[in-house]
Amino acid sequence: MEGVRVPAARELSVQLTVNGVPHAATVPARTLLVHFLRDHLRLTGTHVGCDTTQCGACTVALDGVAVKSCTVLAAQAGGHAVTTIEGIASEHRTTPDGSDPADGALDPVQRAFKDEHALQCGYCTPGMVMAVRQLLADHPDPTEDQVRHALSGNICRCTGYQNIVAAALRAAAGGAGTGTGTGREG
Protein backbone atom coordinates (compact mmCIF):
# COMPACT_ATOMS: atom_id res chain seq x y z
CA MET A 1 0.00 0.00 0.00
CA GLU A 2 1.39 3.38 -0.94
CA GLY A 3 2.73 5.33 2.03
CA VAL A 4 3.09 2.27 4.22
CA ARG A 5 6.66 1.29 4.97
CA VAL A 6 7.40 -2.26 5.88
CA PRO A 7 10.35 -2.31 8.25
CA ALA A 8 13.29 -4.42 7.19
CA ALA A 9 13.79 -7.56 9.21
CA ARG A 10 15.98 -6.82 12.19
CA GLU A 11 19.44 -8.24 11.79
CA LEU A 12 21.90 -9.37 14.41
CA SER A 13 25.57 -10.19 14.25
CA VAL A 14 26.32 -13.64 15.59
CA GLN A 15 29.67 -15.04 16.63
CA LEU A 16 29.96 -18.67 17.54
CA THR A 17 32.28 -21.62 17.24
CA VAL A 18 31.21 -24.54 15.09
CA ASN A 19 33.24 -27.73 15.11
CA GLY A 20 36.12 -25.81 16.61
CA VAL A 21 36.12 -23.05 13.98
CA PRO A 22 35.02 -19.51 14.88
CA HIS A 23 32.38 -17.97 12.65
CA ALA A 24 30.76 -14.54 12.49
CA ALA A 25 27.78 -13.49 10.39
CA THR A 26 24.96 -10.99 10.30
CA VAL A 27 21.61 -12.70 9.97
CA PRO A 28 17.94 -11.90 10.43
CA ALA A 29 17.11 -12.10 14.12
CA ARG A 30 14.62 -14.88 13.47
CA THR A 31 17.21 -17.20 11.90
CA LEU A 32 17.14 -20.63 13.46
CA LEU A 33 20.40 -22.32 14.34
CA VAL A 34 19.67 -25.18 11.95
CA HIS A 35 19.26 -22.76 9.06
CA PHE A 36 22.39 -20.87 10.09
CA LEU A 37 24.35 -24.12 10.00
CA ARG A 38 22.92 -25.29 6.69
CA ASP A 39 22.48 -22.05 4.75
CA HIS A 40 25.30 -19.87 6.03
CA LEU A 41 27.95 -22.43 6.87
CA ARG A 42 26.88 -25.06 4.32
CA LEU A 43 27.01 -27.76 6.99
CA THR A 44 24.17 -29.72 5.48
CA GLY A 45 24.69 -32.87 7.52
CA THR A 46 22.27 -31.43 10.06
CA HIS A 47 18.86 -32.09 8.56
CA VAL A 48 15.44 -30.47 8.79
CA GLY A 49 12.63 -32.97 9.05
CA CYS A 50 9.82 -30.96 10.59
CA ASP A 51 10.82 -27.52 11.92
CA THR A 52 8.42 -28.17 14.80
CA THR A 53 10.64 -29.93 17.35
CA GLN A 54 9.32 -33.38 16.71
CA CYS A 55 11.69 -35.36 14.49
CA GLY A 56 15.17 -34.81 15.94
CA ALA A 57 16.86 -34.75 12.52
CA CYS A 58 18.35 -31.37 13.42
CA THR A 59 20.05 -32.50 16.65
CA VAL A 60 23.45 -30.94 17.37
CA ALA A 61 25.48 -30.42 20.52
CA LEU A 62 25.44 -26.93 22.03
CA ASP A 63 28.26 -26.62 24.55
CA GLY A 64 28.27 -30.40 24.57
CA VAL A 65 24.56 -30.87 25.24
CA ALA A 66 22.29 -32.28 22.56
CA VAL A 67 19.65 -29.82 21.35
CA LYS A 68 17.24 -29.71 18.47
CA SER A 69 18.70 -26.87 16.45
CA CYS A 70 15.30 -25.92 15.02
CA THR A 71 14.34 -24.82 18.53
CA VAL A 72 17.32 -22.50 18.99
CA LEU A 73 17.85 -19.12 17.38
CA ALA A 74 21.25 -18.61 15.84
CA ALA A 75 21.57 -15.52 18.00
CA GLN A 76 21.01 -17.62 21.12
CA ALA A 77 24.00 -19.74 20.15
CA GLY A 78 26.21 -16.65 20.02
CA GLY A 79 29.28 -17.06 22.19
CA HIS A 80 28.75 -20.79 22.43
CA ALA A 81 30.27 -23.89 20.85
CA VAL A 82 28.28 -26.03 18.46
CA THR A 83 29.24 -29.51 17.32
CA THR A 84 27.54 -30.94 14.27
CA ILE A 85 27.72 -34.36 12.67
CA GLU A 86 30.54 -33.04 10.47
CA GLY A 87 32.63 -32.30 13.55
CA ILE A 88 32.58 -35.54 15.46
CA ALA A 89 34.81 -37.80 13.41
CA SER A 90 37.78 -35.51 13.81
CA GLU A 91 37.52 -35.86 17.57
CA HIS A 92 38.88 -39.39 17.30
CA ARG A 93 41.87 -38.89 15.09
CA THR A 94 44.52 -39.77 17.65
CA THR A 95 46.12 -43.13 16.99
CA PRO A 96 48.07 -45.22 19.53
CA ASP A 97 51.35 -43.79 18.25
CA GLY A 98 50.02 -40.24 18.48
CA SER A 99 49.85 -39.62 14.76
CA ASP A 100 46.82 -38.39 12.85
CA PRO A 101 45.07 -41.09 10.85
CA ALA A 102 43.46 -40.22 7.54
CA ASP A 103 40.61 -37.73 7.58
CA GLY A 104 37.26 -39.38 7.87
CA ALA A 105 37.98 -41.57 10.87
CA LEU A 106 34.55 -42.34 12.25
CA ASP A 107 33.31 -41.50 15.70
CA PRO A 108 32.61 -44.74 17.63
CA VAL A 109 28.88 -44.11 17.44
CA GLN A 110 29.04 -43.59 13.69
CA ARG A 111 31.05 -46.81 13.40
CA ALA A 112 28.46 -48.69 15.45
CA PHE A 113 25.69 -47.42 13.15
CA LYS A 114 27.69 -48.66 10.18
CA ASP A 115 28.41 -52.04 11.75
CA GLU A 116 24.78 -52.60 12.79
CA HIS A 117 23.34 -51.35 9.47
CA ALA A 118 21.39 -48.84 11.52
CA LEU A 119 20.32 -46.66 8.62
CA GLN A 120 18.52 -46.91 5.34
CA CYS A 121 17.82 -43.54 3.71
CA GLY A 122 20.04 -41.88 6.30
CA TYR A 123 17.89 -38.81 6.75
CA CYS A 124 17.48 -39.30 10.49
CA THR A 125 21.00 -40.60 11.03
CA PRO A 126 22.93 -37.42 11.92
CA GLY A 127 20.36 -36.55 14.56
CA MET A 128 20.26 -40.12 15.83
CA VAL A 129 24.04 -40.23 16.14
CA MET A 130 24.11 -36.97 18.06
CA ALA A 131 21.31 -38.18 20.33
CA VAL A 132 23.11 -41.46 21.02
CA ARG A 133 26.27 -39.55 21.91
CA GLN A 134 24.26 -37.61 24.47
CA LEU A 135 22.72 -40.81 25.80
CA LEU A 136 26.13 -42.40 26.27
CA ALA A 137 27.45 -39.27 27.95
CA ASP A 138 24.61 -39.52 30.45
CA HIS A 139 24.49 -43.32 30.65
CA PRO A 140 27.71 -44.99 29.48
CA ASP A 141 26.19 -48.45 29.99
CA PRO A 142 22.51 -47.99 29.13
CA THR A 143 19.76 -50.56 29.18
CA GLU A 144 17.69 -51.11 26.06
CA ASP A 145 14.84 -49.24 27.73
CA GLN A 146 17.12 -46.28 28.39
CA VAL A 147 18.20 -46.29 24.75
CA ARG A 148 14.62 -46.36 23.51
CA HIS A 149 13.62 -43.62 25.93
CA ALA A 150 16.59 -41.44 24.95
CA LEU A 151 15.75 -41.78 21.27
CA SER A 152 12.03 -41.19 21.69
CA GLY A 153 12.45 -37.66 20.38
CA ASN A 154 14.08 -38.84 17.16
CA ILE A 155 11.92 -40.21 14.38
CA CYS A 156 13.07 -42.74 11.79
CA ARG A 157 10.72 -43.64 8.96
CA CYS A 158 12.80 -46.50 7.58
CA THR A 159 14.49 -48.84 10.01
CA GLY A 160 11.93 -49.80 12.60
CA TYR A 161 14.49 -48.63 15.17
CA GLN A 162 15.76 -52.12 16.04
CA ASN A 163 19.17 -51.67 14.44
CA ILE A 164 19.50 -48.14 15.79
CA VAL A 165 19.00 -49.49 19.31
CA ALA A 166 21.51 -52.24 18.56
CA ALA A 167 24.00 -49.64 17.37
CA ALA A 168 23.62 -47.62 20.54
CA LEU A 169 24.18 -50.73 22.65
CA ARG A 170 27.17 -51.74 20.51
CA ALA A 171 28.70 -48.29 20.92
CA ALA A 172 28.18 -48.51 24.66
CA ALA A 173 29.72 -51.98 24.81
CA GLY A 174 32.73 -50.60 22.97
CA GLY A 175 33.19 -47.93 25.58
CA ALA A 176 32.02 -45.00 23.45
CA GLY A 177 30.41 -43.36 26.43
CA THR A 178 33.63 -43.27 28.38
CA GLY A 179 35.88 -42.16 25.53
CA THR A 180 36.84 -38.68 24.47
CA GLY A 181 34.41 -36.60 22.53
CA THR A 182 31.21 -38.28 23.66
CA GLY A 183 29.75 -35.91 26.10
CA ARG A 184 29.75 -32.35 27.20
CA GLU A 185 32.63 -31.02 25.21
CA GLY A 186 33.08 -27.31 25.37
Interface ranges with ligand FES (CB under 6 A): 48-51, 53-58, 68, 70, 119-125, 156-159
Which residues, in sequence order, are CB contacts of 57 under 8 Å at separation 6+? 46, 47, 48, 49, 50, 123, 124, 126, 127, 154, 155
Instruction: Tell me how far, at minimum, the Cβ of 2 lies from ligand FES, in Å.
Output: 40
Count of C-beta atoms within a 10 Å radius of residue 177: 24
Instruction: Tell me how far, at minimum, the Cβ of 155 lies from ligand FES, in Å.
Output: 7
Q: Alpha helix locations (H) across 49-161?
A: 85-88, 108-115, 125-138, 144-150
Instruction: Tell me how far, at minimum, the Cβ of 119 lies from ligand FES, in Å.
Output: 4
Nearer to ligand FES, 91 or 135 (CB): 135
Instruction: Tell me how far, at minimum, the Cβ of 35 lies from ligand FES, in Å.
Output: 10
Instruction: Tell me how far, at minimum, the Cβ of 64 lies from ligand FES, in Å.
Output: 19
Q: Measured on CA atoms in the order 30, 32, 38, 41, is the torsion positive or negative?
A: positive
Nearest to 18, CA basis, from 30, 3, 34: 34
Quick one: angle between helices 108-115 and 162-173, nearest 10?
A: 130
Nearer to ligand FES, 90 or 120 (CB): 120
Nearer to ligand FES, 106 or 155 (CB): 155
Nearer to ligand FES, 124 or 136 (CB): 124
Q: Is 80 left (phi over 0), alpha (psi -120 to 50) or beta?
A: beta
Nearer to ligand FES, 92 or 168 (CB): 168
